[in-house]
Amino acid sequence: MSVSSVAATPDRPSARPLATAPTGAFRGRFLALAAIVCAALNLRLVVTSLSPLLTTVGAEFGFAATVIGVFGTLPLVAFSLFGLITPAVMRRWGTEATAVLSMALTGVGQVLRAFAPETGTLLLLTAVTLTGAALGNVVLPALIKQYFPDRLAALSTVQMVAVHAGALFPPLVAVPLAEVAGWRFALGAWSVIALAAAVLWIAQRSRSDHGRTGSADPVRSGGGTPALARPVWRVGMAWRMAVLFGMVTWNVFILFTWLPTLLTDAGHGEGFAGSMVSLMIGASLLFGLVAPTATVRSASTFPLVLLGVAGYAVGYAGIALAPEAAPLWALSLGLGTGMYVVMMTMIQTRSATPGGAGALSGFVQGVGSGIALGGPLLFGLVSELTGGWGASFLLVVGGSLAVAVVMGYVERVPRTIEGAAETQEGRGATHVE
């Protein structure tokens, strides 16, 4: 056991203990729940509502496959950069105000990019939209910790179902809607959900401000107490979780980018290849229904990490050796991509306060997304250099999964980021498990 191993304590009450307030508590929690769900729907929708339309938009604007690749890279760049910045925004403005900013940027960006006259403007406004989604990625775990500290597993499940729904639904209707009303309408119509989420968070913030009785917001820095005893980047636990999250995201984006190509190279049609991506996401959604509860109740998270790595390994091996059974391998890969749900729940269980959740969420998602940037690029580059996919599977995939196993084992015992920051680990001392 390391000197920094601090057992995760039961969830502390929120700054606004709505669960126990006898008057208006349900209404307050219901509004927060609606706002969380509405915001979560947007976190992947901003990506999947555009990607099916890029061929049509490219034909009108005259950009080629390279630009499509830039659009595919923008989400990870935004998630990495603003994942690191968002905790500072939360400390300055508070969680609800950050959620309002997140959804306002997302909604306005979606509206404006539907009117983009050329490629550069579309890229810029997509970046604005993704900035909002990146802020939302970080602030939602802190908001769940703040409003539902007694329902972490249930709310993590709700959040992940909403995120997956936001990823699944737009690709199914984007092209048919564009054929009827044009690509601009098909792209901009989704802004309604983000703008509705912004309104809900404005209402929730107003209600919270009205009900505040002088207690400081633990995530806001205006006179409040810092969430951690030292900066999160000086805590070894945060780095290990970031690497694990990076390896998970690394493989998720490899699959989003390359799975259709791997299947078409193996002789399958483009339509079938696309449906296998949807099947993989669907399997991940099913795993996500039980993963938060399993993560919250686990004395060791390593078996869950090992299960996800096994799903990846079996799925990749099947695609490489027996691609004719692609549906089976897509289901297995969905089990692997479901590790994202486990990681997001771990952020909740390994923090004791909304401020700690925000700091850990921002660092893990920011650094992890930065690590993941190299995955799809390296996978394709190794394939080009070697003339096949075998080396990509062995080096890029195998290496990342090996790192995930090591990080999952080291961080198998739950402890809080607040506790780790107060121990010798936070000072950079060597420790032995």
pLDDT tens digits in sequence order for the chain, 433 residues long = 333 333 343 333 333 444 344 334 445 588 899 999 999 999 888 887 887 787 788 888 887 666 776 787 788 888 888 888 888 898 888 889 999 999 999 999 999 999 999 999 999 999 999 999 999 988 998 898 888 888 888 888 888 888 888 877 887 788 788 889 999 999 999 999 999 999 999 998 888 765 554 444 444 433 333 567 788 888 999 999 999 999 998 998 888 878 888 888 888 886 788 778 888 888 888 888 888 888 888 889 999 999 999 999 999 999 999 999 999 999 999 999 989 888 988 888 888 887 888 889 889 988 998 888 888 888 888 888 888 889 999 999 999 999 999 999 999 888 888 888 888 554 443 333 3
Measure the CA–CA gap between 208 and 31, rounded to whole angstroms.
11
In terms of Cα–Cα distance, which of 282, 264, 281, 265 is closest to 273?
A: 264
Q: Name the phi and psi angles at 22, rounded to 5.
A: -75, -25
C-beta of residue 304 within 8 angstroms of C-beta of residue 407? no
Q: DSSP assignment, residue 224? A: P
Check if the beta carbon of residue 86 is closer than 8 Å to that of residue 134.
yes
| Inside any domain, residue 432 | no
Is residue 126 domain-resident? yes
DSSP string across 366-394? HHHHHHHTHHHHHHHHHHHHHTSSHHIII
9 lies in some domain: no
Q: Is residue 18 part of a domain?
A: no
CA-wise closest residue to 49 among 248, 159, 184: 184
Q: Alpha-carbon distance 332 to 312, whole Å?
A: 7
Helices and strands per DSSP (H, E), number in the chain: 18, 0
Residue 142 in any domain: the answer is yes
Alpha helices in 268-392 (DSSP H): 270-297, 302-321, 326-337, 339-349, 354-372, 374-386, 390-391
SS3 7: strand
Number of separate domains in the chain = 1
Q: Report pTM.
A: 0.73
- φ, ψ of residue 117 to 5 degrees: the values are -85, -20
The reply to whether 112 falls in a domain is yes
Q: How far apart are CA 399 and CA 422, in angstroms?
A: 33
**In this structure, what CATH number is given to the domain that contains residue 242?**
1.20.1250.20
Rounded Cα gap, residues 425 and 126, in angstroms = 40
Q: Is the residue at 165 inside a domain?
A: yes
287 close to 334: Cβ distance less than 8 angstroms: yes
Structure-block tokens of residue 341: 């749900």
Q: In 3D, which of 412, 411, 403, 401 has the Cα closest to residue 310? A: 401
CA dist., res. 102 & res. 205, Å (int): 14
Task: Return d(Cα 313, Cα 255) in angstroms, integer.
Answer: 13
In terms of residue numbers, what domain contains 305?
A: 25-213+229-427
Task: Classify residue 1: in a domain, yes or no.
Answer: no
* Closest-CA residue to 194 (of 110, 266, 114, 112): 110
